[in-house]
């Protein structure tokens, strides 16, 4: 006897008990439940149930029972033939997540992005709005016939990104996406809202020269090691007391402190890996309870900067090596690592991480990163980790209480 497979679709104003009532007569009639999916949107229930049975004679009584049920309860019920399909034969087996951040998301933006996906034979499997307050955050789960890389999808969205000034992250939809365990920040112009070495240059009376060299290095126009040594040479004779005063007044990027509290509450390990100087990074790690700080060692003798470095220079390769080393030390997969940076010397580090975020970054960095944020608020990173508005509100309350409880009375 041929096996029958059916797909039942129910739409209704949501209330408790609809699924239980439906399953009651499905079981009584004798059908086997294969799968159930349901969600509620704006108070409306959308329920799908997949059924199988060897006896085709059970189809009429099921249809009759469903028709009576729908009439009594005021529901909309549809029944469709269903052909079970092995996962390997699914038409869009490769899944990715596209997250969009923007101030507003008009209807024209919805139209353009859906047309872009359609033109690329990309199927939208699910859309979820993570926030719709001061910032709009949308998450698209998409399916493709072939294993498109994040870079392929990002390239396809270049025009859309320019038209609507939207920040985008593209990630593979795997269990690692919501299981990140280590986050590695660049310091200058990422965790901090300044270039520390340029501030030191001002104190040494070489501000303009230092800033120009920094600009070239961060845009990839000048070798980082050469630029660093040249700038450090300008600092010769600067007293350590000037460094101490600067370290006490470094401006954090908006959202940085709250982000650290939330990530620590979630069990993340947090690192600063910087092309700057350990003198400042160590103080930041101590002040904010960060787990690791890796940076260049500025040579100081008898309370004065010598104009030299000691030890290995942390350049682009050094940052990548540090990220890999920290992941190995903690026993994490690289797919569980988030890296955040803005300059050309961050590109390798961002590429090696499971999620690399270009934060208010130079164009050369944004072109190569799988995610970007162009708003000065580090807390927005949480949306790329799958956290929604309700989660964020709860986390803010939890970390707020923990901070309050830790303060002396």
Question: Domain 4-84 carries which CATH code?
Answer: 3.30.70.260
Question: Domain 90-172 carries which CATH code?
Answer: 3.30.70.260
Residue with tokens 């090691």: 225
Q: How confident is the model at residue 405 (pLDDT cuts 50, 70, 90)?
A: very low
Residue with tokens 């509290």: 261
Domain boundaries, the chain: 4-84, 90-172, 182-193+250-398
The model's pLDDT over 175-191, given as tens digits with 9 standing for 90+, comes to 899 899 999 999 999 99
133 burial (CB, 10 Å; 0-12 / 13-18 / 19+) is exposed
Active site amino acids: 186, 188
Q: What are the contacts of 25-32 at 24+ separation with CB within 8 A?
A: 25/62, 25/65, 25/66, 25/69, 26/51, 26/62, 28/65, 29/58, 29/61, 29/62, 29/65, 30/55, 30/58, 31/6, 31/58, 31/62
| Three-state DSSP class for residue 122 | coil
4-84 matches 182-193+250-398 in fold: no
Q: What is the dihedral of CA 190, 379, 136, 395, to 10 degrees?
A: 170
Query: Does the model's pTM come out above 0.95?
Result: no
Domain at 182-193+250-398: CATH architecture: 3-Layer(aba) Sandwich (3.40)
Kindly state the average pLDDT of the residues 244-254: 96
The model's pLDDT over 340-370, given as tens digits with 9 standing for 90+, comes to 999 999 999 999 999 999 999 999 999 899 9
Which carries the bigger pLDDT value, residue 405 or residue 42? 42
């Amino acid at each position: 006897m041929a096996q029958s497979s059916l797909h039942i679709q129910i739409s209704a104003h949501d209330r408790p008990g609809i699924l239980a009532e439906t399953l009651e007569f499905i079981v009584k009639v004798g059908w086997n439940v294969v799968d159930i999916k349901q969600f509620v949107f704006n108070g409306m229930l959308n329920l799908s149930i997949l059924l199988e049975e060897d006896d085709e004679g059970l189809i009429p009584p099921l249809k009759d029972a469903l028709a009576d049920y729908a009439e009594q309860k005021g529901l909309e019920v549809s029944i469709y033939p269903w052909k079970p399909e092995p996962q390997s034969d699914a038409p869009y087996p490769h899944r990715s997540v596209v997250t969009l951040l923007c101030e507003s998301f008009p209807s024209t933006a919805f139209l353009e992005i859906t047309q872009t996906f359609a033109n690329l034979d990309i199927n939208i499997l699910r859309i979820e709005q993570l926030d719709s307050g001061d910032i709009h955050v949308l998450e698209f789960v998409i399916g493709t016939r072939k294993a498109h890389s994040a870079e392929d999808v990002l390239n396809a969205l270049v025009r859309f990104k320019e038209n609507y000034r939207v920040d985008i992250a593209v990630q593979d939809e795997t269990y690692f996406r919501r299981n990140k365990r280590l986050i590695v920040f660049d310091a200058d112009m990422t965790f901090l809202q300044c270039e520390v070495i340029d501030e030191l240059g001002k104190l040494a009376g070489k501000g303009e020269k230092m800033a120009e060299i920094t600009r070239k290095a961060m845009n990839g126009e000048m070798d980082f090691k050469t630029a660093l040594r040249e700038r450090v040479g300008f600092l010769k004779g600067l007293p350590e007391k000037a460094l101490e005063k600067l370290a006490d007044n470094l401006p954090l990027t908006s959202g940085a402190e709250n982000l650290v509290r939330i990530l620590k509450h979630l069990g993340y390990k947090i690192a600063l890996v910087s092309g700057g100087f350990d003198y400042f990074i160590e103080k930041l790690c101590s002040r904010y309870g960060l787990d690791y700080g890796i940076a260049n060692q500025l040579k100081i003798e008898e309370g004065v900067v010598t104009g030299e470095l000691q030890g290995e220079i942390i350049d682009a390769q050094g940052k990548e090596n540090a990220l890999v080393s920290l992941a190995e030390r903690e026993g994490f997969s690289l797919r569980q690592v988030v890296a955040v940076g803005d300059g050309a010397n961050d590109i390798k580090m961002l590429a090696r991480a499971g999620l690399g975020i270009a934060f208010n970054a130079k164009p050369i960095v944004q072109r190569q990163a799988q995610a970007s944020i162009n708003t000065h608020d580090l807390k927005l990173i949480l949306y790329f980790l799958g956290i929604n508005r309700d989660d964020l509100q709860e986390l803010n309350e939890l970390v707020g209480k923990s901070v309050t409880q830790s303060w002396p009375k």
